[in-house]
Amino acid sequence: MLLHELAHCRAGDKGNTATLSVFPRADADYALLARVLTAERVRAHLAEFVAGEVVRHELPDLCALHFVCHEIVDGGVTTSLALDTHGKSVSSRLLALEIQ
Amino acid sequence: MRTTRIGSGAGFSGDRIEPAEDLLRRAGLADLVLECLGERTVAQAQQRRLADPSLGYERRLPARFTRLLPLAAAHGVRVITNMGAANPLAAGRVTVSIMDSLGLRGRVAVVTGDDVLPVLDLDAPAWETGRPLREHGEIVSANAYLGADALLPALAADVVLTGRVADPSLFLAPLADRLGWDLADVPLAAAGTLVGHLLECAGQLTGGYFADPGFQDVPDLAELGFPYADVAADGTAAFGKLPGTGGLLSRATVREQLLYEITDPAAYLTPDVTLDVRGVRVTDDVRVSGARGAARPDTLKVSVGYRAGSKVEAEISYVGPNAAARGALAADIVARRLAGMPVRAEVLGGETDCRLRVAAIGHDGSLLDRVADEVESLYTNGPAGGGGFRAHVTEVIGIASTTIPRAATHPEVTFLEAPDAAA
């Protein structure tokens, strides 16, 4: 199934760095997401968009996984050649990740 | 316990005006904050000021204030905004003249001192690239993110105008003023900064960036209500939006906004506090508590705008059977014609409805025109059925970031009176 079934996601941007916050629709799925949604998995899924490191922050009190993606390909709002210069739509791309 | 109600009337320069009118009429606010200044917006405003010294404030200020200030005056709400952009003093004078023309009396305060271009070390490295700032291109602006301490002396006014101030500081300052907080009290500065961080994007907290039909339904986005917070003297906050407005204010929307653009949940740097959101709790009835903090940094972030040339974007569409193959062929043709030029060419869309998009950035206008011409010439030199060519060229202001010692900035407050005694 797609991550979209279980979670919602918000992207943010600071210069060349993107943040992706993932929240399970039901708190009970936090443990499952924490197990399958590793930084490596996210980086591989977004390889086309992220050139640098992906750091995962676990926030159990908030029931959130927060990914900080460094060196966004074609990043930087002002000088990017991408259509979505902010990278706002990367949140939806992440939700296309297939999970078991 | 003492509480105060603070509202969020704009989350970016292009935001709707009606939700702020509604808050002023019905919410019983003490303060309304309008956050309208993005990183690029200040650099663009600086360019308008260079072209005409009477400009450089937010372009939509007159439209916004003409509608909002009569309501603010009628309901006794203090208005705080960064619509001063690159020219807060000019914004103050325009505000006074708007108040004059509307028959309003009041005091306008202008916060200056964020423009640090004259004192900035241009040999300092940019965070993004590590290269000295001056190597990025002609520098057009440098604005430090001032903190709540710069705003406090301005809060004796009815309308407060600033240039670059950290977004949460626009909220922390009036909270500290209303609730008698000392900005050096780290837990309270953390709590107020969290409230500001949650409110600064206005409708994004109340479901304005959340709807996903069938999965996350948000009622009546056409009449989205903006948020307010009831903040208690101990820093705890309850969030709300007006009855009858559209949108959704829930634990889910608040959590999304809480982590928005935070690159280190343990240490979100602001001019007022180093915020730690890891222990924040959001209840189902959207009460928020648990912000922690550490002392504020000794340096302030500076956004530096530089001329990065111009950007061309040119597009043409292909639809129907085999459209994607025709789009791919069009991309190949353009790539061959522009071989050696750093262009980005991509075919967007699906198998039967797609659009070739070609983009390039540079300082040579004739090369950028050639990119647009090559896409346009696909009309009679490319695949079958191409249509809907569009191209535009826009000037690009790049943004680089650095820091400046806090002691190198000298914030000041200027008070103006309406009616204008000098007029």
Domain holding B374: CATH number?
A: 3.30.70.100
Query: Which among B31, B262, B316, B367 is positioned nearest to A20, based on CA atoms?
Result: B262
Q: Are residues B193 and B270 in the same domain?
A: yes
Residues of chain B neighbouring A78 (CB-CB closer than 8 A): 39-40, 308, 396-399
Per the CB < 8 Å rule, is A66 touching B255?
no
Q: Are residues B229 and B347 in the same domain?
A: no
Interface test with B, best of A4, A53, A59, A93 (most B CBs within 10 A): A59
Give the contacts of B94 (CB within 8 A, at least 6 positions apart): B57, B61, B62
Identify residues of A whose CB sits under 8 angstroms from chain B CBs.
Answer: 4, 8, 10, 12-17, 19, 21, 23, 25, 57, 59, 61-64, 66, 68, 74, 76-79, 81-83
Chunked into runs of 10 residues, chain B (423 residues) has average pLDDT values of: 97 97 98 93 86 95 98 98 98 98 97 95 90 93 97 98 98 98 98 98 97 97 98 97 98 97 96 97 94 96 93 97 98 95 94 97 94 98 98 91 95 93 60
What is the predicted pLDDT for the residue at B42? Answer: 85
What is the predicted pLDDT for the residue at B16? Answer: 98
State how far the Cα of B82 lies from the Cα of B35, in Å rounded to an integer.
Answer: 6
Beta strands B159-162 and B106-112: pairing type? Answer: parallel
Mean pLDDT, residues A38-55 taken together = 94
Residues of chain B neighbouring A29 (CB-CB closer than 8 A): none
Residues B250/B286, Cβ–Cβ less than 8 Å: yes
* Residue B21 amino acid letter: E
Mean pLDDT, residues A58-64 taken together = 95
Residues of chain A neighbouring B39 (CB-CB closer than 8 A): 77-78
Q: Which domain holds residue B316?
A: 308-398
Q: Are residues B69 and B93 in the same domain?
A: yes
Residue B237 placed within a domain = yes
| Residue of A10, A63, A77 with shortest CB distance to B260 | A10
DSSP string over B221-236: GGGBPPPEEEEETTS-
- Sort A72 into a burial class: Cβ within 10 Å, 0-12 / 13-18 / 19+: buried
Beta strands B387-405 and B353-362: pairing type? Answer: unpaired
- For chain B, the domain total comes to 2
Which strands, in side-by-side order, build the sheet including A7-14?
A7-14, A17-24, A64-69, A54-59
Residue B261 placed within a domain = yes
Residue B131 placed within a domain = no
Residue B272 placed within a domain = yes
Residues of chain A neighbouring B257 (CB-CB closer than 8 A): 10
Residues of chain A neighbouring B210 (CB-CB closer than 8 A): 8
Q: Are residues B291 and B312 in the same domain?
A: no
Angle at B415 between CA B412 and CA B418, to 5 degrees: 160
Q: Are residues B194 and B321 in the same domain?
A: no
| Residue of A66, A76, A82 with shortest CB distance to B259 | A66
Q: How far is B209 from chain A (nearest CA, A)?
A: 9
The length of chain B in residues reads 423
Mean pLDDT, residues A69-82 taken together = 78
Give the contacts of B45 (CB within 8 A, at least 6 positions apart): B56, B57, B58, B85, B86, B87
Per the CB < 8 Å rule, is A12 touching B260?
yes
Per the CB < 8 Å rule, is A77 touching B399?
yes
Q: How far is B208 from chain A (nearest CA, A)?
A: 12
Residues A52/A70, Cβ–Cβ less than 8 Å: yes
Give the contacts of A26 (CB within 8 A, at least 6 positions apart): A6
Interface test with B, best of A5, A55, A56, A66 (most B CBs within 10 A): A66
What is the predicted pLDDT for the residue at A72? Answer: 82
Per the CB < 8 Å rule, is A8 touching B215?
yes
What is the predicted pLDDT for the residue at A71? Answer: 85
Helix (H, G, I), strand (E, B) or coil at A93: helix
State how far the Cα of B236 lies from the Cα of B262, in Å rounded to an integer.
Answer: 21
Q: Are residues B372 and B263 in the same domain?
A: no
Beta strands B78-81 and B159-162: pairing type? Answer: parallel
What is the predicted pLDDT for the residue at A76? Answer: 64
State how far the Cα of A90 lies from the Cα of A67, in Å rounded to an integer.
Answer: 12
Residues A66/B259, Cβ–Cβ less than 8 Å: yes
Q: How far is A19 from chain B (nearest CA, A)?
A: 6
Q: How many CB pairs lie under 8 A apart between chains A and B?
A: 95
Q: Are residues B150 and B44 in the same domain?
A: yes
Q: Are residues B201 and B59 in the same domain?
A: yes
What is the predicted pLDDT for the residue at B218? Answer: 98
Residues B397/B140, Cβ–Cβ less than 8 Å: yes
Residues of chain B neighbouring A75 (CB-CB closer than 8 A): none
Q: How far is A53 from chain B (nearest CA, A)?
A: 13
Q: Are residues B265 and B315 in the same domain?
A: no
| Percent residues over pLDDT 90 in chain A | 71
Q: Are residues B346 and B245 in the same domain?
A: no
State how far the Cα of B79 lies from the Cα of B171, in Å rounded to an integer.
Answer: 11
Give the contacts of B225 (CB within 8 A, at least 6 positions apart): B19, B22, B203, B206, B241, B242, B244, B245, B246, B247
Residue B53 placed within a domain = yes
Return the structure tokens found at B154: 């301005």
